[in-house]
């Protein structure tokens, strides 16, 4: 039986998108750039972690942000659902961080991160997403 390990998000600039998600998710933080990680980057000709093509946020589940050459062009086939206590305040906070509100369906907000990846937000009082 398979078990959840990582969520991987393709993007144009992993470091900046990882920063956004680290601010969104209160239980995730950047994996440290220790000597081994800096050596891995150096072996690829990368001197600045800001240019890392694969950035990890530690948490459960872990989030990897991988650089890809193509832009996002269609709706995500998979997205993250987030819950919070005060949905209106959290929407405002996420918009301040760089998210955009796409729509509202009852108690669910559909938003996008700075690179256009959709995610949903609702209060913990409403367990079902608009899709199901």
Residue 86: Cβ-neighbour burial (10 angstroms; 0-12, 13-18, 19+) = exposed
Q: What is the pLDDT along the chain (132 residues), one digit of tens a residue?
A: 888 899 999 999 999 999 999 999 999 999 999 999 999 999 999 999 999 999 999 999 999 999 999 988 888 888 999 999 999 999 999 999 999 999 998 888 999 999 999 999 998 665 555 554
pLDDT at 132: 46
pLDDT at 106: 81
b/e per residue 99-117 (b: at least 16 CB within 10 A): beeeeeeeebbbbbbbbbb
CA of residue 85 relative to chain centroid, distance: 20
Q: What is the pTM of this model?
A: 0.88
Indicate the SS3 state at residue 6: strand
């Amino acid at each position: 039986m398979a078990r959840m390990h990582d969520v991987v998000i393709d993007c144009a600039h992993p470091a900046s998108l990882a920063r956004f998600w680290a601010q969104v998710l209160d239980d995730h933080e950047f994996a440290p750039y220790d000597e081994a990680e800096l050596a891995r980057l150096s072996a690829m000709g990368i001197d600045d972690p800001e240019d890392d093509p694969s950035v990890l946020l530690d948490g459960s589940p872990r989030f990897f942000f991988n650089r890809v050459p193509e832009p996002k062009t269609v709706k995500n086939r998979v997205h993250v659902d987030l819950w919070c206590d005060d949905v209106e305040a959290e929407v405002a906070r996420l918009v301040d961080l760089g998210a955009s509100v796409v729509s509202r369906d009852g108690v669910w907000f559909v938003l996008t991160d700075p690179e256009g990846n959709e995610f949903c937000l609702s209060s913990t009082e409403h367990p079902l997403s608009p899709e199901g």
